[in-house]
Amino acid sequence: MGWGRSLLIVEDDSKTAGLIEMFLAKEGFRTFLASDGREGLELFAEMQPDMVILDALLPRVNGFDVCAEIRRTSQVPILFLTARDEEADIVLGLGLGADDYVVKPFSPRELVARVKALLRRATPDFGTQSDRVESIAGLVYESMNRRFMLNGQQLELTPLEFALLRTLLNSPGRVFLRSELLDTLYPSGDPVIDRVIDVHVGKLRQKLGDDPNAPVFIHTVRGLGYRFADLEPS
């Protein structure tokens, strides 16, 4: 169920917005609706929702700019809605900080499943966490606080970036195929373009200060995928 979570829906098509709202309400979510980008930003600042569902093409302020503005201050999950199955639009949205995307026309049940998956990643499961602390080359994972620190500063990661870093860090030295990472991060089985992983790794590297040409943490294995460096714990 929705666990009382609040979702902001920024969608200019009233029928689509109403359909999304109806299906989410059935699952126990609280929803707020905005019909353009500027209203969406105002509602986001006022309501501080747990997640944002954001149409890419919006009047007044487009969805890409809304996403970038939200990411300046918040790491809440963002799900993009795009009317065109065009890789350039999808990659742009993900590059600006969106966690996932759904292409219109979509199944409302698929959308709800994606929403639940993103919120699960964003929910700390303190009941199963130990107080384990891992430290590698200045990168520290504190399981009790469920956070990463780099050289004493907390990394501001989206839920998907957090899950990706934990997956790689759990098996240093192991090569993860892109298909494996897709299955881990998008377990619903819905189709996702392969470049999604590359975009998220790129964003993660930026936050780690990792030069892709001489990486400390995340290495590219050409033609296959990625691996976390097999470094000695510090």
Locate the domains of the chain by residue range. 6-121, 127-228
Query: Which residues, including other chains, have CB under 8 Å from residue 84's CB and lie 6 or more apart?
Result: 103
Sheet of strand 225-228, all strands in order from the earlier edge strand to the far edge: 176-177, 225-228, 218-221
Same fold, 6-121 and 127-228: no
pLDDT at 232: 59
The bridge status of strand 218-221 relative to strand 153-154 is: unpaired
Q: What is the third-level CATH fold of 6-121?
A: Rossmann fold (3.40.50)
Query: 79 forms bridges with which residues in the sheet?
Result: 53, 100
By CB atoms closer than 10 A (0-12, 13-18, 19+), residue 7 is buried
149-200 pLDDT, tens per residue? 898 889 999 888 988 998 898 888 899 998 888 888 877 666 677 788 899 9
Q: How far apart are CA 108 and CA 24, in angstroms?
A: 9
Beta strands, E only, the chain: 6-10, 30-34, 51-55, 78-82, 100-103, 133-136, 139-142, 147-150, 153-154, 176-177, 218-221, 225-228
From 1.10.10.10, 3.40.50.920, 3.30.360.10, 3.90.1150.10, which CATH number describes the 127-228 domain?
1.10.10.10
Higher-confidence residue: 34 or 117? 34
pTM for this predicted structure: 0.77
